[in-house]
C-alpha cells in the first residue's frame, strides 16, 4: 500500500495533521516511537489552549486528539524509524518492523528536554533528577525540590511542584526570570517558592539517590554545596532549560537552522512532498496551539499538493 501521507510523530502537531489529513479523505499513517503526546503528555495542566477555561491536563488532551484522529480513519503505529528516503516521488520509510511508502511525509518529531551536561546528571536521572514534573512529582512528597531554569516551563512546573514538595527553589542563571508576567507573579506570590539568582548547577552527587548539589554563582565565581535534609536523604532536581529538536534523521537531507527544520509558511521544506510541523520546525513560539496550527496547515497543504499533482 502507498499512503497519501505518513506523519512521523504523534504529539499535537502530528495528531492534528492526522486529523486534518484523514478528514479530507487522505490515507494517513502516523508512526510514533514512544507514547503519543510528546512533551504535552508530560504537562500537568494546559491553561492557555483555547476553550480549556478551567484547564485540561496534557494526557487528557492527547487522549482526545488520538481518539479524534482515529475516528476519521488515521492509523497509528508504534515503531522506530531506521532509515528514510524522501527525494523520490514515492517516499520510503524503513522501520524496525516494516517498510512503508507514501506520496507525502509530514515530519512532526518534536523536541526533547535539554540536559545540564554536568557530572552526576546521567547517573542520577530517575534517582532524584527528572525532566517531567507530572511523571515524577509524587516521588518527592514532603521533600525539598529544586527547579533549574527560568522560562515558562520552569516557572509553571515549579508552581505545580509546590503541591508535593516541602519547599521549591528555582535556580536560574540570570538575575530575572524569562517567564511571562502572569507566571512570574504567581511565583513571587507563592510563599513555598524561593529563587537562587545568577547561578548554575555544576555537580550532582549521592549514594544511590542524589543528596548533594554544587552550584556556582556566575557573577562572583563562588561555589556552594546544597545537601539533603538528613531525615530525608535526598531531594528532587527538575531540569527545564529548553529543548533539542529531534532532527537526527534529517540532518543530511533537509535544511536545518540551529537543528530545526526550515520551512515556508505553508510548512513545505525544500523537498517536494515533505513538510514539517510543530516544535521540530524553525519558528518563534513553541506551544500546543502553534503545534496544532502547524499540523493543520501541513496536512491541508500536503492534500492540495497531492491533488494538484494528479491533474
Task: Dump pLDDT digits (tens) for 179-218.
Answer: 999 999 999 999 999 999 999 999 999 999 999 999 999 9
Q: How confident is the model at residue 48 (pLDDT cuts 50, 70, 90)?
A: confident
More confident residue, 135 or 32: 32
pLDDT at 22 (0 to 100) = 98
Residue 134's pLDDT is: 79
H-run or E-run covering 217: strand 209-217
Dump strand ranges (E) for 129-185.
129-130, 144-148, 167-171
Q: What is the mean pLDDT of the chain?
A: 94
- As to burial, measured by CB atoms within 10 angstroms (0-12 exposed, 13-18 middle, 19+ buried), residue 221 is exposed
Q: Would you state the pLDDT for residue 235?
A: 97
Task: Give the angle subtended at the CA of 189 by the CAs of 186 and 192, to the nearest 5°.
Answer: 100
User: What pLDDT was estimated at residue 181?
Assistant: 95
What was the pLDDT predicted at 200? 97
What is the distance between the alpha carbons of residues 21 and 78, in angstroms, rounded to a whole number? 19
Going along the chain from its start, the domains and CATH numbers come out as: 2-113+243-309 (3.50.50.60), 121-239 (3.50.50.60)
Question: For the sheet containing 75-78, what is the strand order?
Answer: 75-78, 28-32, 5-8, 105-107, 274-276
List strand residue ranges (DSSP E) for 119-163, in order. 129-130, 144-148
Of 41-55, 76-90, 126-140, 154-168, minimum mean pLDDT range: 41-55
- Quick one: the chain helix, strand, coil %, rounded to 5? 30, 30, 40
d(CA 201, CA 124): 14
How high is the pLDDT of residue 136?
86
Report which DSSP code applies to 293: H
Residue 284 has pLDDT above 90, yes or no: no
Question: Which residues belong to the active site?
Answer: 132, 135-136
Percent of the chain exceeding pLDDT 70 equals 99
Confidence of residue 257 (pLDDT cuts 50, 70, 90): very high
pLDDT higher than threshold 90 for residue 67: yes
Cα–Cα distance measured from residue 181 to residue 193, given in angstroms and rounded to the nearest whole number: 16
Amino acid at each position: 500500500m502507498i499512503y497519501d501521507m505518513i506523519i512521523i510523530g504523534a504529539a499535537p502537531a502530528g495528531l492534528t495533521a492526522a486529523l486534518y489529513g484523514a478528514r479530507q479523505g487522505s490515507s494517513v499513517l502516523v508512526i510514533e516511537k514512544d507514547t503519543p503526546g510528546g512533551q504535552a503528555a508530560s504537562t500537568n495542566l494546559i491553561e492557555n489552549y483555547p476553550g480549556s477555561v478551567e484547564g485540561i491536563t496534557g494526557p487528557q488532551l492527547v487522549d482526545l486528539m488520538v481518539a479524534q484522529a482515529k475516528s476519521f480513519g488515521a492509523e497509528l503505529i508504534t515503531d522506530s524509524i531506521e532509515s528514510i528516503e524522501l527525494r523520490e516521488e514515492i517516499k520510503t520509510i524503513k522501520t524496525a518492523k516494516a517498510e512503508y511508502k507514501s506520496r507525502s511525509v509530514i515530519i512532526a518529531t518534536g523536541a526533547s528536554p535539554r540536559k545540564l551536561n554536568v557530572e552526576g546528571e546521567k547517573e542520577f536521572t530517575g534517582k532524584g533528577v527528572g525532566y517531567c514534573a507530572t511523571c515524577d512529582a509524587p516521588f518527592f512528597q514532603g521533600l525539598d525540590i529544586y527547579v533549574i531554569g527560568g522560562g515558562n516551563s520552569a516557572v509553571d512546573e515549579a508552581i505545580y511542584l509546590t503541591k508535593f514538595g516541602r519547599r521549591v527553589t528555582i535556580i536560574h542563571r540570570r538575575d530575572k526570570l524569562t517567564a511571562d508576567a502572569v507566571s512570574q507573579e504567581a511565583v513571587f506570590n507563592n510563599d513555598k517558592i524561593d529563587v537562587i539568582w545568577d547561578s548554575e548547577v555544576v555537580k550532582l552527587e549521592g549514594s544511590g539517590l542524589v543528596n548533594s548539589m554544587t552550584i556556582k554563582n556566575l557573577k562572583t565565581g563562588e561555589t556552594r554545596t546544597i545537601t539533603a535534609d538528613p531525615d530525608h536523604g535526598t531531594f528532587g532536581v527538575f531540569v527545564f532549560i529548553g529543548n533539542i529538536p529531534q532532527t537526527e534523521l534529517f540532518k543530511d537531507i533537509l535544511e536545518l537552522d540551529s537543528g530545526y527544520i526550515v520551512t515556508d509558511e505553508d510548512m513545505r521544506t525544500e523537498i517536494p512532498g515533505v513538510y514539517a510541523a510543530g516544535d521540530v520546525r524553525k519558528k518563534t513560539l513553541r506551544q500546543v496551539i502553534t503545534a496544532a496550527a502547524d499540523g493543520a496547515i501541513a496536512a491541508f497543504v500536503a492534500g492540495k499538493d497531492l491533488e494538484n499533482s494528479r491533474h
